[in-house]
Amino acid sequence: MTHWLNHRFDIPHPIIQAPMAGVSSPAMAAAVCNAGGMGSLGVGAMTADAARAAIQQTRALTERPFNINVFCHGPVARDAKVEADWLAAMAPEFARFNAAPPDALNEIYQSFLTNPDMLAMLVDEAPTVVSFHFGLPEASVISALKSAGITLLASATSLPEAHACQAAGIDAIVAQGIEAGGHRGIFDPTAPDAELTTDALVAQLAPHIDLPIIAAGGLMNGGDIARVLSLGAEAAQLGTAFIASTESLADAAYRAALRAPSSYPATLTPSVSGRPARCLRNGFIAWSEQTDATIPAYPVAYDAAKALAGAAASAGVSGFGAQWSGAGGLWARHGSAGDIVTWLVAELAASQRG
């Protein structure tokens, strides 16, 4: 099959494993690469040193191209009263686990937009691909990465965002539909969101964008991949399909929740982190639906959720963490990431034969 990944990188199959910060691992990314897809690492929550180590670990496991994903969220608008009220609202939940909420919240990781150390590391390491989520860096950053020979991808959830990516010099667009697990890639979380499905978004972008389109969101099998390719995508990005893989960093409770019908439908909510993200229905989601307290800004709210998840885990209770999942999480694959790619390729071929 000829497609953009094949032309650009000599990658046989039009399959990208989504970055999934906290879930993807060097072993996962390398296994996908070695099976003929493109593996990815999400380093948005890492320091530059930790991200460098992850890149080097992946390179030790594969000689194939892989993708490094960073978060490009805007400046955090801190509000001390909102944060204090959020912690006060959570206090009874902490008390259930014989714990107290933290005295204050922190901005738990730095945006790539304000992280010169991460930029310098990426220019130095020069991974084949770098992808952006939540928006775009300034022109000088894009220029520095491209001058290092790096191909650039960016998530878009709408035609205007895709136009912005094209104008900025991005090489390909990850068209993220509403079914996607984890964080919605919207540039401005305060703006209206059309919440287009993956199919509708790809079909809308294809006639109007002069860049390769990578479909993402709710894709779980080879038939799904064949469908988005027929709509104009050059490749498909799958994340949830790999969460239960051997190489995933998801813990046992997360893996069990993926298999539980009670975890669905996975809920799109800002309550976990401060930005809309699709999460399995769990204890934290149930609590958040009962409070009317204002959610702190991203990623400050995430600090509170992580603290409560830790308190619950210490008490032997799972299901309070960020258990991200796309709409089709019940169909997550079990086996090695390399085997999953092989199965997807076989299903894709069968679907295209009709």
Tokens of 86: 């959020």
Residues 10-38 have pLDDT tens digits of 999 999 999 999 999 999 999 999 999 99
Q: What is the pLDDT of residue 1?
A: 62
Calculate ∠ Cα 66-69-72, nearest 5°.
155
Cα separation, 290 vs 279, in Å, equals 16
Domain boundaries, the chain: 4-75+111-248+332-353
Residues 173-220 have pLDDT tens digits of 999 999 999 999 999 999 999 999 999 999 999 999 999 999 999 999
Cα separation, 298 vs 44, in Å, equals 13
Is the CATH code 3.40.50.720 the one for domain 4-75+111-248+332-353? no
Cα separation, 123 vs 145, in Å, equals 6
Tokens of 14: 């039009």
Residues 240-256 have pLDDT tens digits of 999 999 999 999 999 99
Tokens of 154: 């960016």
